[in-house]
Structure 1
Amino acid sequence: KAATRTISVGDELRLDELIEWLIARGFERVTAVELPGEFCIHGGILDIFPASEPDAIRIELFGDEIESIRSFNVESQRRLEDLKSISLTATTPTGSLASGAASAPRSNAMKDAAARSGAPDAPSPVFVGPTESLIDSLPPTTIVVLNDLQQSISEGRMYLQRLSSPVGLYSVDATMARLTEFPSVTIDALGADSYETSCHLSIEPIERLSGSRRDALVELSELLGPDDQILLCCHNEGEHERLHELIKETDTAHNTALASRIRLTTGRLRRGFRLIDHALIVISDNELFSRAATRATTRKKRTDSRAIDTFLDLRDGDLVVHVAHGIAKYRGMAKVENSGQQEEHMLLEFRDSVIVYVPVSLIHLVQKYIGPAKTSPELTKYGGTSWLKKKDQVAEAVSDMATDMLKLQAERASRPGLQCPPDTHLQQEFDKAFPFTETIDQVSAIADLKQDMEQPKPMDRLICGDVGFGKTEVAMRAVFKAVDSGRQVAVLVPTTVLAEQHFRTFSQRMAEFPVTVEMLSRFRTAAEQNRIIARLKEGAIDVVIGTHRLVSKDIQFKNLGLLVIDEEQKFGVKVKERLKHLRAEVDVLTLTATPIPRTLHMSLLGIRDISSLTTPPRDRVPIETRVGRFDESLVRSAIIRELNRGGQVYFVHNRVHDIEQIAQRLKRIVPEASLTIAHGQMHEDDLEAAMIEFVNGKADILLATTIIESGLDIPNANTMFIHQADIYGLADLHQLRGRVGRDRHRAYCYLLLEDGRTVTTKATRRLKAIEEYSELGAGFRIAMRDLEIRGAGNILGTEQSGNIAAVGYELYCQLLENSVRTLKKQPLRYQRHCKIELPVSNFIPDKYIAEQKLKIEVYRRLSQANSLEQLSELEEELRDRFGPIPTAARRMLQLRELNLRALGWKIENIHLETGYAVCRYRDAKLIRMLSHLHKGHLRVVDAHDAYWPLAAEETDGPAVLDELIAALSAAQPPVPEA
């Protein structure tokens, strides 16, 4: 079909013709491929990410012939596997459906279903024109399964009728007619019609079980007829083992014979059934224990992704920090020739329009300035002393803070804690009952906190992670371990709504186990509260979830062992003071949805126990995000689509004074939808009532301010509108959007702009970035950067925000890390550089990499390559991404190799003097060892310099470079230095 094109190794291919074909079919040309639907070209190499493929594809041409096709990982840019051919499928509609639909033969089931729903038999596309449906991309051998066909047809017609202007959509009949071209299976619950090909199955649903771990298998045995057998589907191997043991225990305790009648298998089953004719019951472990159904997860190979580098988003005029000279503006790149050595330089503008040229070999000294929101620092005077003074002041403040944190840690370590025993069999069962596959970060965090709890000192661990990354499950493992050790647990949350949500989640997760969960909040009557308080004192409640009421002095626990605090920064001063006292007595686990940067995490190693969840769940479906004007038909269409699938809608409008007008407008657009309003100026009781109404599914639309930004977790709400989206920052948009996309359904987020309102260039850039969201995309990187700065403030305290603003975030983290290392008497970490002055041109030619952003990426990564292995990997990646490496770029790699080898021998300067290469060294013992290896050819003349007589001509820079690399490669230094 025109929408699909297959290309194979050995094919002739005109690149210009393929580019036209791709653009016409919705592909976007970019500088580097990150998302499906994108492509880029570097010389004779085409990178493309077809929407139909799990990974991006790299096609290498030799002239007009396809030499190789291979998949690659967009994060690491590394080759995955070689392919013989690839099919490229259009990302936008291209063909016409209307032409062949009318004459298509129809199956008996389809004809009868259409007749019963009272529709005309002739297909009639709603939109006739150059368009194509998903059906046109299906291979002819595709088997179509039609489930409850009559209802599907009726729902399709109702959906079209609800749309005010269904332009661009096919009619139900046109779609059904087209489907008859494929072999099909129709599933009908009523079984009203019989055909020669019909097959009747005697199936009935399984009765709902209580869900109790202790009683579920006994209940199941009572459902069995005399000859019934059971096929029990377990969602993973751990659950398979757990149920095998549980069946044996049940048979022993209740004198049942389940082991002989139950066959266990590993697989996915959404809903169980009884096959009457075959005396067979098929049931899933989730149904057996009344757990929510889980989605299948796909395992992907983990690849080492590159760290988020905001430096790569540099634009002309952006603020940067030169570690030695201060804050400046980035003013682009320029090639400079000096003594026959041509090298690319970064231009920095300091105060009074002073321009400084920084060679790319020193690009590691330049950082993008990142500070707290709305900070705009002054440019530094180049060559002045103010920058050094400022750095010293920040270093002193950071050292004081690190000292205080270390003191706190030492005090905590000296106090006796509530030591938990190693995991029991029951704890292992609880862990295995988790219905999803843990991410690598979750596994690591769980191991860390369990190790903490088994130590004879109080735990105080912070779990950081973006919305939906699995913090609650990590916390529940700690909660269960504490309860299993005979302790009580208090879970402290900032809002009553969140208390209600956590209560539901904890109750459901622990329903199969002997754990009593309660909630203490204003939703409980006075009598209920008194009863809960009394039971806490008696020790009859294992886990209590509540707001700040939990830390009131009248609340007494019989044996409190663990305190879980959700979003501590949202509590007031009094609550925080009370928490300080509790921290001294029990294990504390703090959760925050504001992520912290890896750099800060590493800087705090050894003085603060932190676990970061940075890996999204494996089955996370990206949120479909669109930017557009406030179009009433679009708003109605999107809301109706969500309601049709039984979902709910958020509508965010952040101005209280006219929120009622927006409510009236929405009621006019979708009169059939129920709506509730929530904003911060409402009375607390009214606000909570509105939130609970939406949480309980009694309202279709929640019209709210950004009060919903954090805390709400409603899997049923999967469509969001953000009104006047141009006024929000990227981090705010990212957190708001994180409220949807938490269920198996595809989630949608619409960023709405008002008609007639002018949008600034910066706002347009923000909206474009968030629209192109992906875990890999630039929008995500920027949003995360903004969020991480907030996270840094939450952890370090607001007083440190001024210090971050003074020197920039990256330098602040370096100063903090070195302060910690000094206090712990560890060697300081900083990047050394050997200054090399040779007549060698080294740069990336424009013909090899044209885009400046990609060039900067390569220069940056080259300067950060701290081992020969990293350098070799970068060289291999350049060949793979951009083709054979040109001479100037190859010299650049060789200079970095010489730099690394020189640093290994503690040589810090290499320059030429009349037939000699002069090596300035820092370690006399090492340089004498090197001289001995070369039988005295390297002459050590004084306490600083050693001379290497050159065999090559001094003016022949490349030959000198090769000679020096060979000289320093004669042996590895005892302790290589990077």
Structure 2
Amino acid sequence: MIGLSILTKAYLLSALFEKEKKTILIITPTQNEAEELHQNLLLFTKNTFLFPSWEILPYEEQRPAEGLMGERIKILFKFLAKEQMIVVAFPRSISYKLIPPKELQTKKILIKKGEETNRDELIKILVSFGYEICEQVEEEGYFRAQGGIVDLYPPSEVPLRVEFFGDVIESIREFNISTQGSLRHLEEVLILARNESILCDCQGQKVSFFEYVPEEVLLVIDEWSRFYFEYKNLQKEIDDFYQERLLISKKIPSPAEIFIKIEDIKNILSRYYLIHTSLINNTEIKSSEIFFNIPFLVSYNGKISLLVEDLLNWQAKNYEVVVLVRSKLQEERILSSIEEEVALKEKIKIFIFEENVYLHGFLEEEIKLVVISEQEIWEKIKISKRRYKSTEKWVVKDYRELDIHDYVVHVNYGIGRYLGIKNIETQGIKRDYLVLEYDNNDKLYLPLDQMHLVEKYTGGENPPLYPLGGNLWNQVKKRVKESVQKVAKELLELYAYRKVLSGFSFSKDSKWQCELEESFIYQETEDQLKSLAEVKKDMESPFPMDRLVCGDVGYGKTEVAIRAAFKAVMNNKQVGILVPTTILAQQHYLTLRERFKNFPICVEILSRFKTQNEQKKIVEELKDGKIDIIIGTHRLLQKDVVFKDLGLLIIDEEQRFGVTHKEKMKRLHKEVDILTLTATPIPRTLYMSFVGIRDISVINTPPPERFPIRTLVTKFDQDIIKKAILREIDRGGQIYFVHNKVVTIKEIYNYLSSLIPEVKIVIAHGQMPGKDLENIMMKFIKKEYDLLLSTSIIESGLDIPSVNTIIINDAHEFGLSQLYQLRGRVGRTNHLAYAYLLYPSQKSLSKPSQERLKTIMECTELGCGFKIAMRDLEIRGTGNILGHRQHGNIVAVGFGLYCNLLSQEIAKIKGENISQEINPKIDLNIDAYIPESFISAPKIKQAMYKRMASIKKIEELGEYKEELKDRFGKIPKVIDNLFKIIEMKIISKKIKVESVTIIEDEACLRFMEVDNKLVSKLVKLVENNNNLRLDPQGKNILRVLNVKNNLDLVKKILQELR
């Protein structure tokens, strides 16, 4: 088949699949082509799969990503089961030899609900399949077994929860890894081996990938000449790596033992019915030829008049016109554009679909068919991907778990050291206690229901432990409280004044606003929409906005800012966007120009990329109101920059600006709305949000299909560097190499050029002339270079999806937030991304450097920017958050407690009613704890206690009990007792009961304060119940008799007093 575009190729092959009812295997020359064809096939049939490669180099000692391995195994099993499907592959994905099919068949197990299966036997099978045990299942390839429940996460599938009743499978459920809560129930599930690593250990001869492909499969080779060329190159690369490895070890298998040769593939092809596809005629292939002449449509670029003209011409020629759109809004948008052409509106067919594919329309003259997509009409289309719900609130107090020997702060006893959780029996009653060590090795055993009184200490390194007893801690707290009063007044003067200023009230969204938002090519996350709603609400209020949008790298903060900027311009206001670097300014400039190109909006940039004359002209036009949006670095803060009518100021990458810069901008424009963006909040920002004097929106939800970045901290090693670069080049990607010293950057260039001469390298740094730097970056974006060797100028906001490997030289010299930002430049697609943090082999690292590198290597999960910011605060200390005077106070009591004291003082100054925290003591004389048999992992147990202690409502308690039952199985009596204690505590707080104590068969309820209303209730209760007595020594004590084994009686009395 010759002359097919990618869309028509996908259409014809899917039609062939539907007609013949046979599996089709398509092999393309490259991975990129395979991915694009797969995406287009998805439009016509769901039953299509991409057979991925391992995405590692030949002979590389690196384990492929779990998801990739799992997807490969799943497809191999589908071949063996002779399922009808379309599979797209490419040279790198089919080159590795595999274990024989009969051996793979032994690496699967089908489990069914109601089936008799031994739990321990299932665990043994999972281990033999390569699954690893863990405390909580959060990643593919892991499992957890506790009591009668086994959680597991098969690669490329959904996490599963298998619950046993004895030796019978009682239920099989999917579950959410974020909430750990169960989802839908399943009747049966097929569990496959974890990955090919475990399969590769098998004995015996390995076979070709085609041994799994039945002979009745239709085999399609796309662009045979290029496929052959790419495979020959791959073979040479394999041989080169083999020779390299031979220098290190002679005990390695030869290429013939591991990989399939192109000559073998040519011989294998004769087994199958073969179809060749090509854009042009291929003289090398002797076969019957079918020529297609189906031209692409050109883009209308939003010019509806041209579209209408063509539609009328096609209508006159009796063509059938089909328009593919993504939403009802887009359908209405097109229909309203051709409103006057009534006959035309009746004739064209509009279909709404939600597939995540890029489409190109086409015109088929013989059958008189025109297919038009949004790609042609607007030039951009929306990619609808699976939505991820935000499952965690941005709760500051829960940002870290406690590790053994961590420093902690107890509100009443001061700084101590955490030693773990211990189960202690006193007077025949068992409870779990938090063990805290204080000065002179004194120990405090804290009941776990009081865990909310303790938090991890952040402030300084190795703080002194306080003595138990004495008055030292109270004196320190008193001194800090006195200092806090002055700070609270200063802060309120600095920020709260904006609430009394009269700002501009922006109007509701216009029709154009809806059109702009519909043109966004990705599906918004729930958090993005919520943050945007909060921003718009602020803008529409009569007070100046001062909102911080905090979201991880690549989570969509920029889109929120774009929509806010557009809203401002629609109200005839100007927008200033302040960014830390010229490169980020240029990227924002290009992004905004692209997004706003169909609207009459003037966007300009003020940076050193512009000449002096150009800058002068821009400044004049800004003053005259000819420019709607100006993007700039610190240049925007200079005196000559004057706006005609500034309505919105956006500060991007807030952590990169000093306080002086930001406060200067705010003073210059007091009544202007301010929107600040950050991924890793600086201590001052954390501080402001903690104490409630800054409005904050949080984007927590990761983009769909995003892998965590694989992070390696290693000594500078040429073998590692070479393999990292070549691996990325082999999969068609690009690389950042960060060397933050301009003086020696040329030396690194020479070193890399000699190490990998075939790779095209270019240097970029901030001391270059602006135009040169701009040209280099544009060429790199266009993939004219493979590797960008740069200083840390790439740190801020650069978004180039094809770059998925970053190598950071002398990583120990960067701050933790810097490392996190740099690493965030990669991993913005559905490819596995790599970050290499190098340090000199001959240098010993300082403790803070080691801590930073350890943290960045451990924090690889999606959305850990806040965690990084807090960890950075621990390593560096709090520094001068609010001036040198306050630094000592923060060190003395810890960052968290200082923030709590400050927020209380601010609330007091505002005149808010601050009620004293009531913490009733509940001692029911019963065993109440989480046993090892229910939860054995200390950190999970700690999290459970913390969650229980934070529950405020009875309904929440019931929900949490069900959650525990779902995750861990039947609730034992000792945990049920814990819930009873917490339930009584919740009720006691509301009626101001100081303590509930049971001794033998008598309960004593002690009230904090007694008013006439309560006395009346107590007297009435005593009169109607023979088991109740008011203590003769005081009105605030109620005694309940005969309560042994009858806790419900005590609970009932508490409820009646509410």
State the TM-score, normalized to the length of structure 1.
0.84
How far is the alpha carbon of 1:212 from its aligned partner? Answer: 4.4
Letter in 2 for 1:26: G
> Which residue does the alignment assign to 2:133?
29
How far is the alpha carbon of 1:424 from its aligned partner? Answer: 1.8
- In the TM superposition, 1:495-534 aligns within 5 A as 495-534=581-620
How big is each residue's C-alpha offset from its partner over 1:521-558, in whole Å with a ceiling of 9 and x where there is no partner?
A: 22122332233233223322221212222232223333
2:988 maps to 1:902: yes
Which of the numbers 406, 416, 431 marks the counterpart of 2:517? 431
> Which residue does the alignment assign to 1:876?
962
> Which residue does the alignment assign to 1:365?
453
Change in CA separation of 1:68 and 1:151 when aligned onto 2, cut-off 3 Å? same
Give distance in 2, aligned partners of 1:181 and 1:2.
27
Give distance in 2, aligned partners of 1:437 and 1:914.
62
Which of the numbers 212, 222, 229 marks the counterpart of 1:154? 229
How far is the alpha carbon of 1:890 from its aligned partner? Answer: 2.4
Structure 1, 458-467 or 515-524: larger mean CA deviation: 458-467
2:147 maps to 1:43: yes
How big is each residue's C-alpha offset from its partner over 1:464-493, in whole Å with a ceiling of 9 and x where there is no partner?
A: 222112121111112111111112222222
How far is the alpha carbon of 1:810 from its aligned partner? Answer: 2.9
1:25, 1:94 within 8 Å by CA — same for their partners in 2? Answer: no
2:1032 maps to 1:932: no
> Which residue does the alignment assign to 2:279?
189
Number of equivalenced pairs = 928
How far is the alpha carbon of 1:48 from its aligned partner? Answer: 0.6
Structure 1, 881-890 or 195-204: larger mean CA deviation: 195-204
How far is the alpha carbon of 1:391 from its aligned partner? Answer: 2.8
Letter in 2 for 1:52: S
How far is the alpha carbon of 1:70 from its aligned partner? Answer: 1.1
Q: Secondary structure at the match of 1:61?
A: strand
Which of the numbers 326, 331, 351 marks the counterpart of 1:235? 326
Change in CA separation of 1:354 and 1:233 when aligned onto 2, cut-off 3 Å? same
Give distance in 1, aligned partners of 2:386 and 2:426.
55
2:406 maps to 1:315: no
Which of the numbers 873, 893, 908 marks the counterpart of 2:979? 893
Give distance in 2, aligned partners of 1:693 and 1:272.
26
Change in CA separation of 1:603 and 1:791 when aligned onto 2, cut-off 3 Å? farther
> Which residue does the alignment assign to 2:189?
86
How big is each residue's C-alpha offset from its partner over 1:608-647, in whole Å with a ceiling of 9 and x where there is no partner?
A: 2322222223353433445666664554344234334543
> Which residue does the alignment assign to 2:60?
none
How far is the alpha carbon of 1:515 from its aligned partner? Answer: 0.9
How big is each residue's C-alpha offset from its partner over 1:46-82, in whole Å with a ceiling of 9 and x where there is no partner?
A: 111111223x211122333322211122222222121
1:165, 1:633 within 8 Å by CA — same for their partners in 2? Answer: no
> Which residue does the alignment assign to 1:5?
109
Letter in 2 for 1:339: Q
Change in CA separation of 1:324 and 1:684 when aligned onto 2, cut-off 3 Å? farther
Letter in 1 for 2:259: Y
> Which residue does the alignment assign to 1:263?
350
Change in CA separation of 1:869 and 1:236 when aligned onto 2, cut-off 3 Å? same
CA RMSD, 1 decimal: 4.1
How big is each residue's C-alpha offset from its partner over 1:740-785, in whole Å with a ceiling of 9 and x where there is no partner?
A: 12245443334457768889999899777755656479x7774353
Give distance in 1, aligned partners of 2:799 and 2:234.
28
Change in CA separation of 1:146 and 1:796 when aligned onto 2, cut-off 3 Å? farther
Q: Secondary structure at the match of 1:343?
A: strand
How far is the alpha carbon of 1:821 from its aligned partner? Answer: 2.5
State the TM-score, normalized to the length of structure 2.
0.78
Letter in 1 for 2:1008: R
Give distance in 2, aligned partners of 1:96 and 1:968.
62
Give distance in 2, aligned partners of 1:351 and 1:757.
37
Which of the numbers 77, 80, 95 marks the counterpart of 2:180? 77
> Which residue does the alignment assign to 1:582?
668
Give distance in 2, aligned partners of 1:377 and 1:141.
73
Give distance in 2, aligned partners of 1:138 and 1:728.
51
1:566, 1:592 within 8 Å by CA — same for their partners in 2? Answer: yes
1:910, 1:918 within 8 Å by CA — same for their partners in 2? Answer: yes
- In the TM superposition, 1:845-856 aligns within 5 A as 845-856=931-942
How far is the alpha carbon of 1:518 from its aligned partner? Answer: 1.5
Give distance in 1, aligned partners of 2:971 and 2:932.
12
Change in CA separation of 1:329 and 1:135 when aligned onto 2, cut-off 3 Å? farther
Give distance in 2, aligned partners of 1:69 and 1:136.
34
Structure 1, 407-416 or 194-203: larger mean CA deviation: 194-203
Structure 2 stretches of 5 or more lacking a match?
1-104, 243-254
How far is the alpha carbon of 1:298 from its aligned partner? Answer: 0.9
Change in CA separation of 1:585 and 1:910 when aligned onto 2, cut-off 3 Å? closer
Change in CA separation of 1:676 and 1:219 when aligned onto 2, cut-off 3 Å? farther
> Which residue does the alignment assign to 1:349?
437
How far is the alpha carbon of 1:814 from its aligned partner? Answer: 2.4
Q: Secondary structure at the match of 1:205?
A: coil
How big is each residue's C-alpha offset from its partner over 1:852-882, in whole Å with a ceiling of 9 and x where there is no partner?
A: 2222222222222222222222322222222
Give distance in 2, aligned partners of 1:224 and 1:411.
63
Q: Secondary structure at the match of 2:241?
A: coil
> Which residue does the alignment assign to 2:868?
783
Change in CA separation of 1:661 and 1:881 when aligned onto 2, cut-off 3 Å? same
Which of the numbers 714, 718, 725 marks the counterpart of 2:804? 718
Give distance in 2, aligned partners of 1:180 and 1:20.
43
Change in CA separation of 1:488 and 1:574 when aligned onto 2, cut-off 3 Å? same
- In the TM superposition, 1:60-209 aligns within 5 A as 60-93=163-196, 147-163=222-238, 164-165=240-241, 170-171=259-260, 173=262, 187-190=277-280, 192=282, 201-209=292-300
Structure 1, 29-38 or 193-202: larger mean CA deviation: 193-202
Give distance in 1, aligned partners of 2:1021 and 2:1051.
15
2:610, 2:770 within 8 Å by CA — same for their partners in 1? Answer: no
- In the TM superposition, 1:479-628 aligns within 5 A as 479-571=565-657, 575-576=661-662, 578-595=664-681, 603-605=690-692, 607-626=693-712
> Which residue does the alignment assign to 2:98?
none
> Which residue does the alignment assign to 2:464?
378
Give distance in 2, aligned partners of 1:182 and 1:728.
57
Change in CA separation of 1:362 and 1:478 when aligned onto 2, cut-off 3 Å? same
2:1036 maps to 1:945: yes
Q: Secondary structure at the match of 1:427?
A: helix
Change in CA separation of 1:409 and 1:288 when aligned onto 2, cut-off 3 Å? same
> Which residue does the alignment assign to 1:442?
528
1:774, 1:780 within 8 Å by CA — same for their partners in 2? Answer: no
1:216, 1:289 within 8 Å by CA — same for their partners in 2? Answer: no
Change in CA separation of 1:335 and 1:593 when aligned onto 2, cut-off 3 Å? closer
How big is each residue's C-alpha offset from its partner over 1:312-367, in whole Å with a ceiling of 9 and x where there is no partner?
A: 63222111111111111111232323233221222111122222221222222111
Which of the numbers 557, 569, 583 marks the counterpart of 1:471? 557
Q: Percent identity?
A: 36
Letter in 1 for 2:761: L
1:906, 1:926 within 8 Å by CA — same for their partners in 2? Answer: no
1:331, 1:349 within 8 Å by CA — same for their partners in 2? Answer: yes
Letter in 2 for 1:83: L
Give distance in 1, aligned partners of 2:664 and 2:130.
58
2:161, 2:173 within 8 Å by CA — same for their partners in 1? Answer: yes
> Which residue does the alignment assign to 2:157?
53
How big is each residue's C-alpha offset from its partner over 1:123-152, in whole Å with a ceiling of 9 and x where there is no partner?
A: xxxxx9787999899999998775445433
How big is each residue's C-alpha offset from its partner over 1:684-721, in whole Å with a ceiling of 9 and x where there is no partner?
A: 89877766664564432123454533332323322122
Give distance in 1, aligned partners of 2:823 and 2:804.
10
Give distance in 2, aligned partners of 1:940 and 1:98.
76
Which of the numbers 987, 1006, 1010 marks the counterpart of 1:920? 1006
> Which residue does the alignment assign to 1:808?
894
Letter in 2 for 1:61: F
Q: Secondary structure at the match of 2:584?
A: helix
2:282 maps to 1:282: no
Letter in 2 for 1:66: I
> Which residue does the alignment assign to 2:757?
671
